[in-house]
Structure 1
């Protein structure tokens, strides 16, 4: 059993992992570079209901400020509505994270600066001194210093997200808007907090310009009361290094490749990691993760890579096919596992003409297919 465990990063996944390890009898130390948990905010703050339903420990619902019953999805001049009661929650992410941190041993204002091997473990260097640990875990986000310092193998691209909180009432307080600039990878969103405030954000090549243009086009004239920004890692990474170091959450690219949400997958990763630590077999962590989510992630990465390289005419055809089959998406769509939608639609004989259009689009740009097939 690992006597000393250090988790770098006291975000939601680091704290969730800490709570799981505590429940197994461990006493992990969390190192957090900021002065408090939950700040700065770097997330849209919309969580599927299964984040709470599938948690292995009870999650406080103090952070929930609104319940979402569906979405309006748009690309160009085409749009459709998705309806599903209570499909997601809007949360205050700082409160969500803080509730997860209660009772954990966290050292704040402590920045990870490096690690050196010392016998079976590591000497961890920080701005506040040095620590020894038997097991080092990186839960330190998209630009993980643990991942980079120890040389974990990875194949990822960092995207950029930007969000404004704006004082504004909107009529549909139980519905989010998703406006694609490129289905199904780059998009802008409008999220109602339900309290006279909306969250308007984007994931784009130039998020500031994209967001400013969107706000101007929509004539959203309310007061901006908060700005949040953050990186989003899309790709894959090894999760275990030499049996005494591991990555979890965004540090290990454990997030949904299509919508870029990281909480649900990060929590599942934390559960597999905590179980492997309890059982004394860290290698089992990567095996269990790949068996549970490896194929889902790889398939969605391939879809993302494929659509990123297609022309707007083909993308519009695909989008309109989704629009024409919205009832099927509502019936079988999984907020957390997006491949279920793709497989169900592809098994429908009405899809064949759309698949033909997709094939022709790929044949015009064979490099797109090669890039998609090269994804890990």
Structure 2
């Protein structure tokens, strides 16, 4: 394989913590009920930390000399882990990795009272961005969604995070919930905006396989209601300064989630932890994805070198892989970015697919004249159909 002809993409780090207090009926992430693990009701923190670091050590040869720009600690519910766990984790990561001076380090957190008491320690450990999983402020919907916090705790969590020193906060909010009306959805969104987070992840509930909602489907709003919620909600977000830059992400000026942006731009990221995914580019031009074993017990009891499954992204698959990520972002981008991130000349099939997309009204023709790609409003609505044009 030839030597890479372009600079390596930016590098991020994803860390997966797989435990929750209980499994929500809509959740298809790799999460497991905490009380089924460990001893005396305690999670196996020391064992998991040791394995996380061994997992990282096994991947370090892939990224020798590279600098981490962003990190994201997801789950599961990472805020279930103790303060000591994060002090030790962050100290070890600082020793093992090179970090950008302005690295963005995000943790997902529950708004429950138990987790709130630890926010100050998370900030002191070096975490500088908090993503709080609220989903709804309405008692009946929180119950339906299996959430363990209430409206008051959700509001208080934002106050507590500010007092803890967080000046970069995301709120996760869902819409299209069972029996949710337009008015109910707008009430949720209005309250979230009043809390003044820097970032709002606002996304529609989808019923995924291997979830309780899939086995026992709830009654969801009709399509007309869903369209109404989407249109009214996006108008409200725009009015209050939250620009939509990705399918389900809205942010104040210069407050986009840098970790997610790197992901959608087809940047690189290490993935450690049970079920974590990664994507890496080597100096010889090889690009591959990694997957770590999913079940916590298996992860804890597997030799680090046996944790990973590697899957190469072949040359013929790179146009689809690149566009499938990049077109989720609504920013215009230069076609030359493809060469930078995929280390191959722009294939004729990619150019023809873009030209077809322009004819269908999915991409702006004016931008294409400068070999820039910009999704139209129609393209955003029919994203799956747009992506099908790039199939090999």
Q: Same fold (TM over 0.5)?
A: no
The interval holding the TM-score normalised by the smaller chain is under 0.3
Scaled by the length of structure 2, what TM-score is found?
0.26
Larger % of strand: which? 1
Scaled by the length of structure 1, what TM-score is found?
0.27
